[in-house]
Structure 1
């Protein structure tokens, strides 16, 4: 006997309502379009209104449309009906004995990132932001590289990391003198070039002169070497470039940075040499973690000099921070100094960076925190030592 199911009375699926658009993640042109398309603002006034809102959000740091005193109450009410400018939840805040600050930020249920502020880096202080939740790269020396990718962050979620830091530092309005936050580095969780569209929008928002106004010369994007996106990164963002290198030959880099199997060193170096705007005034930074008996010999130093010959560059030497379960050890200090000396004699600045925030697990490669174990959050590396090297030596080159 056959049975036929009568589905005639089954109610059709109802699509869940879309969450309101977060205006914090829109560039000014995008905001003009969103205001017009929503019907909240008539076309002829959209550009003016977008600039007003942009300044309130990114220059004044407001989180409620009701605070926008030069916008009519009726318009503020309509804005609140269609949009949001709210911050994500700060789950945890930690302050290191050296002044480093770390925030665990919940973007959505099960979606968390850690953001770190380091004082006295760059012109005044630098913020290390994430571009993804989790990572696909599986770099063997990185504690957090073992976590699977959850998803890309939106531009609003990237910008929110900056806003939260500015909230905590008391950095509103954005033209405040003696600002503590002067530099932004994309060295947190994730590979920025695998989320380039959102990263580029976030950089446009952060650097806009009507808002947060951090110069593109003070924004650095670090990549493990997604070669096809290097040109687009330079064209879209004009950001400073950092390369997570760590090895001078393909055999070793295949192990340390598995992405190298897809984009080997000859392709990577060609892409770097063609990076838009690269010059003595806009040098690339090569990040090089020092691993005992692996990549720290004088021969490796000489090979590194040969590899980067002719590229306006500096090399940031990062003492490895051990983590539970790793097979790697940090190079002896004498070996690191000898390595640096070879680079220096070849004319390359090669600062050795002491990690910051170790006591709150905010140092390079340590950002797989207890929150990941409890909440299944995916924590990627934060190259704090690398960040210091990228920024400290660029201060004479950077725009004010």
Structure 2
């Protein structure tokens, strides 16, 4: 089991996996990241709108909607779409990132779906293939970069709330060691680790973030085991870019603290939970389907941040250190008003080399191909 959980230039460069949001893959192997295409222009539009009553939207999830993580977050977006625009929707769970994905897409078309969303990075090739064959169906792919006349790609800038969750973690740790359970070594996950670490070290400059890879988007047992290994190594806060609550449960069972991902999961580990970076996928689904209804839908590369509503930080729990809510609220306001940029220089890599100079910021292209860790991360990126 596994999964996955962007603005014209962006989605196309999101060879990640993207981008996350998480963010998934059923096989425990690392998906390859082809070089993004050079064209930056989206294409295709349909000037004729479709009444909401005639729309049937199908969703493909890489995991179960009960995962309390990535697929659950997408399904909440589906429900928001239904409730807001009154369109019919259907979904398929546990759709793998292989040829079975294409079969699932065709199944949705056979069911009468004229709008289809594939939500995992590894679904990209399959939905792109089918989109060419069915020009009158609208397609969307989360966290990838391929697009076409009737195919958009979409992602949220989850790095913004990841940075904020890093502030919470950095203020809570007493050991100065924070663990991070990571799924696939693709750019989306790497830049998320970097954003989190930058947030940690903005309030705790000597803290470190140790990374363990699972090579699976959704494997509760493996994710829990990885968290326990990090805890045994001295980490007293556990963060994650994977899709189950296993790391949070491990934290609670071992008397340490945890940062979730994708959706609010306080109830899974109420004694350990600090906060979580969240996706609100409904913001995009409502945006996209409204454009289809209006006849203004253009294939686009959607990659927006907290101001759009597609990503956010969960409430700061009572488990957090004193002053955390104030620090997070200030940083959030600064990000939203443009006075704080997550990837603003100077930023050094693990070796101490300056990768982003003072006065500069990482471009979207650099973020989408990020293959290096910032200073403060312990671990390597499998090639």
Instruction: Provide the TM-score with structure 2 as the length reference.
Output: 0.27
Instruction: Provide the TM-score with structure 1 as the length reference.
Output: 0.26
The structure having more radius of gyration, on CA atoms, is: 1
Structure showing greater relative contact order (alpha-carbon pairs closer than 8 Å, 6 or more residues apart):
2
